[in-house]
Amino acid sequence: MQADRGVADLDRFESVAWRVVMALFLFFGANSLFAAPIKDMTNILGVRENQLIGYGLVVGLNGTGDGTTSTFTTQTLANLLQSVNIKVDQRDITSKNAAAVMVTAKLKPFARQGDRVDVQVSSIGDAKSLRGGTLLMTGLKGLDGNIYAVAQGGVSVGQGALANSGRILNGATVEQEVRFDLSGRERTVLSLKEDSLDNAVAIQNRINEHFKAKLALANDSRSISLKKPDDITMVELLSIVGNLEISPVRANKVTIDEKSGTIVAGLDIRVLPVVVTHGAITISVDSAMSPDGTPLSIANVAGALQQMGAGAADTIAILQALKKAGAIEAELEVIN
């Protein structure tokens, strides 16, 4: 690897590259060597969280609420007072102790009436802060327009966090359930969290091998049909299947976190011969430049760039250029 900032001495960065290799092995490579339970790799089709949303009012703010320009807040407050037989013109409301908010929550699968869920509260007006405020009773609706939970309580705004949003832990009570009857089913479908024909077939074979019967069938790279035996319930079947383990096949992927500069890659991802120029840095990779004579890996490149003083932004840009040039045979995922 060469650069107009200086020629990278491979012996000098070998120890750094080795530390990067070991870190990548421990973080990523080890996962591909050991078995993983099927329940960690799949979801049960139809069993999922449901998003809930509602419009509410936070009161009790110390002059940090919405101003009179947020007319929807004064209108909401006037309607609320009218509901308790207090008639007031919204134009007469000048208090800044209330704020209009959107309230969101996630309804977990199999949630039952009376269960509690966390809610997120976010200002939609010009309130400066929700700190110290209390959310008044707010119905939370699903996509079908029905109310599934009711939220109310004191808003918690973390230190150093944006003051115009906050959370209420266990702030909503489930009022209506989303029914999903597993016990009465004869068949169901497991959905892989990541596309993989190899893993779909491996799961199919592992289930059939365990039960010594053809209960599972891989339909495609994401789904495996599952048939219940006569002597157990579907709930029991899913419990057993979920704890069966396979050795998953991992897709070649390089994951980059732009904020922290962290790069995660598999050990077997190599960099093909290429020349890339980025700003003041020009790198040239050939097939016999790594310390052991094998083609350079992502770990070697990252270690060399670090030794040359390249920052996180430069390293990320260079890896993106390598991918665009076809020198990295792996998926490149950038997390913003």
**Domain of 230, in residue numbers:** 36-47+181-246
Domain boundary among 198, 225, 246: 246
Task: Write down the H helix ranges in 53-196.
Answer: 71-83
- Residue at 58 is within a domain: yes
- The top-scoring range by mean pLDDT among 94-98, 148-152, 159-163, 273-277 is 148-152
| Alpha-carbon distance values, 277 to 190, 202, 223, 304, 319 (Å) | 46, 43, 43, 15, 11
pLDDT of 246 higher than 60: yes
Mark whether 283 and 195 lie in a shared domain. no
Q: Is 280 helix (H, G, I), strand (E, B) or coil?
A: coil
Mark whether 147 and 168 lie in a shared domain. yes
pLDDT at 328 (0 to 100): 79
- Tell me the percentage of the chain whose pLDDT exceeds 70: 84
Q: Is 273 helix (H, G, I), strand (E, B) or coil?
A: coil
| Alpha-carbon distance values, 26 to 4, 262, 299 (Å) | 34, 14, 13
- Tell me the percentage of the chain whose pLDDT exceeds 90: 45
Q: Where are the extended beta strands (E) located within 4-69?
A: 36-37, 42-44, 50-59
- Residue at 5 is within a domain: no
For 247-302, the pLDDT digits (tens) are 988 767 777 777 776 777 766 677 888 887 777 777 777 755 555 555 677 777 77
Least Cα distance to 295 among 269, 318, 321, 275 occurs for: 269
| Alpha-carbon distance values, 131 to 71, 153, 157, 162, 250 (Å) | 21, 12, 6, 10, 45
Report the pLDDT averaged over residues 55-79: 89
Mark whether 232 and 266 lie in a shared domain. no
Contact call for residues 255 and 335 (beta carbons, < 8 A): yes
User: Domain tally for the chain?
Assistant: 3
| Amino acid at the residue 250 | R
For 76-111, the pLDDT digits (tens) are 888 888 888 888 888 778 788 999 999 999 999 899
Q: Which residues pair with 151 in a beta bridge?
A: 138, 172
Mark whether 21 and 64 lie in a shared domain. no
| Amino acid at the residue 177 | E
Q: Which residues pair with 36 in a beta bridge?
A: 246
- Residue at 3 is within a domain: no
Mark whether 15 and 63 lie in a shared domain. no
Instruction: Give, as one character, the DSSP assignment of residue 72.
Output: H
- DSSP H or E segment with residue 199: helix 197-211
Contacts of 288 (CB under 8 A, 6+ apart): none
